[in-house]
Amino acid sequence: MIVYNCVTLVLLSLLPHIHNKLIADGLRSKLASIVLSKTNTSTAIVSLPLRLALCKLTQHAEGEAKSELLSILGFQTEGKLSVCLSAVQNVLTTLESFDFIMLSRILTNDTDEYTNTFLKPSFSVQVDKVKYHQNNSAVNYVNNLISTKTLQRLKYILNNDDINNRTSLMLVSAVYFKMTWEIPFDLKKTRISKFRGFDRNISLVPMMSQDNLYLFLIDDGLGLKMIDIKLATQGLSMFIVLPDDANSMAYFLSSVLTEPNFIRSIKNRMKLRMLTLNLPRFKIKSLVNWKWDLQQMGLQKIFLSNETGLDSALKNNTKRHLYVSGVKQKTFIEVDEMGVLRGDGLRHEFERSQDDIISMTNPTLEFTADKPFYFSILIHYDLSDYKNTEDLLNGVYYGPQ
């Protein structure tokens, strides 16, 4: 999408240090483990845009609805709410100048029932009025909006039955991300190879290959292999967990992912190793509706049409209650040899240093992602402590669809 020259890339790499770590929280890890473990289809989720929308709702919530929201966001008091956006603003700015597009919208009916404060954007979340009674054109309008904002990468986030005569608020988010590696893969080394699903079905995938130094760990007890691959934006890496089988995957997703210190403890045990990394070139497009999952996590009042918890977003003379009818997210993740096109100067520099390393050692270890794997994009807030990370994105790849 954007061609970077060397200078821009270096500037982009100066990811600011951030001490308030608030992307990650119970919302992110619980949602990830619930959403990722209940399906056998490749899925990628980013809880941050949902988090921002919930922060905006919290501003207008009262009573139990407000307590539930604060609790799921991990805040003791409303005073902390402003941190929702400020803690992540710098990371977002950096990512947006890369190939990362994220938007979070709240849809309402096209009436004058809402207060001006509610209609004003906050936490980077915009409110869109759509004509709910013209359900098909409302759906088209929203789908076109998402498509335009994501440069045609994401279409069809809403179905015709998402908007009906009982719809109140819809929370809608979309994320597009294309991985750009610190050291690109050599296109000439990509081979078509077998990928074996948990159901033992074999499909063919383009397998990229690279010999390099990576942080690596094998845990035979848990049946997991793990690797950390640096992305071009300094401070971001892709973390991949390759379970031996479906049971190891299920165990990892259901319990280990929700343990706040698990990734840190793994990172402590990871060692730099010279190895051959084989990773499929892949794309994941996924669409999730989180209403049920959020209800399971204890967020209930905001979904009830008979409750008044969100009514302060409405003008005083309104007879209707305000509630959330649906929470949808569509994501599109792309992984290939290069990522975003970059200037030639930088690429040569990478290739030289890569050759230097390869000439020193011959890898005997191998990390081959030829069966379903979990992955996340990690943000390293503090570059002097590489193990101190938070997830921006979580996903599972089960093979090509």
Binding residues (CB under 6 A) for ligand NAG: these are 38-40, 109, 111, 132-133, 135, 160-161, 164-165, 167, 198-199, 201, 246, 304, 306-307, 315-316
Closest CB to ligand NAG among residues 319, 352: 319
Report the alpha-carbon distance of residue 224 to residue 247 in Å, rounded: 11
Contact 356/246 with Cβ under 8 angstroms?
no
Contact 240/374 with Cβ under 8 angstroms?
yes
Report the alpha-carbon distance of residue 102 to residue 193 in Å, rounded: 33
Closest CB to ligand NAG among residues 181, 282: 282
CB of 164 to ligand NAG, least distance (A): 3
334 is written with which tokens? Answer: 């792309």
Report the alpha-carbon distance of residue 171 to residue 290 in Å, rounded: 10
CB of 62 to ligand NAG, least distance (A): 12
Closest CB to ligand NAG among residues 132, 181: 132
Closest CB to ligand NAG among residues 235, 280: 280
CB of 78 to ligand NAG, least distance (A): 18
∠ CA 233-235-238, nearest 5°, is 80
Contact 112/118 with Cβ under 8 angstroms?
no
Closest CB to ligand NAG among residues 285, 387: 285
Closest CB to ligand NAG among residues 12, 246: 246
Report the alpha-carbon distance of residue 223 to residue 91 in Å, rounded: 33
CB of 307 to ligand NAG, least distance (A): 5
Residue with smallest beta-carbon separation from ligand NAG: 164
Give every strand in the sheet of 169-178, ordered side by side.
126-130, 100-109, 169-178, 324-335, 282-289
CB of 40 to ligand NAG, least distance (A): 4
Exposure letters 58-79 (e unless 16+ CB within 10 A, then b):
bbbbeeebbebbbebbebeeee
CB of 372 to ligand NAG, least distance (A): 9
Closest CB to ligand NAG among residues 119, 358: 119
137: number of Cβ within 10 Å: 12
* SS3 assignment, position 172: strand
CB of 370 to ligand NAG, least distance (A): 16
CB of 314 to ligand NAG, least distance (A): 9
CB of 219 to ligand NAG, least distance (A): 21
Closest CB to ligand NAG among residues 41, 89: 41
Report the alpha-carbon distance of residue 105 to residue 42 in Å, rounded: 24
**Pairing mode of beta strands 365-368, 271-280:** parallel
Closest CB to ligand NAG among residues 198, 251: 198
Report the alpha-carbon distance of residue 252 to residue 246 in Å, rounded: 10
288: number of Cβ within 10 Å: 21
**What single DSSP character describes residue 127?**
E
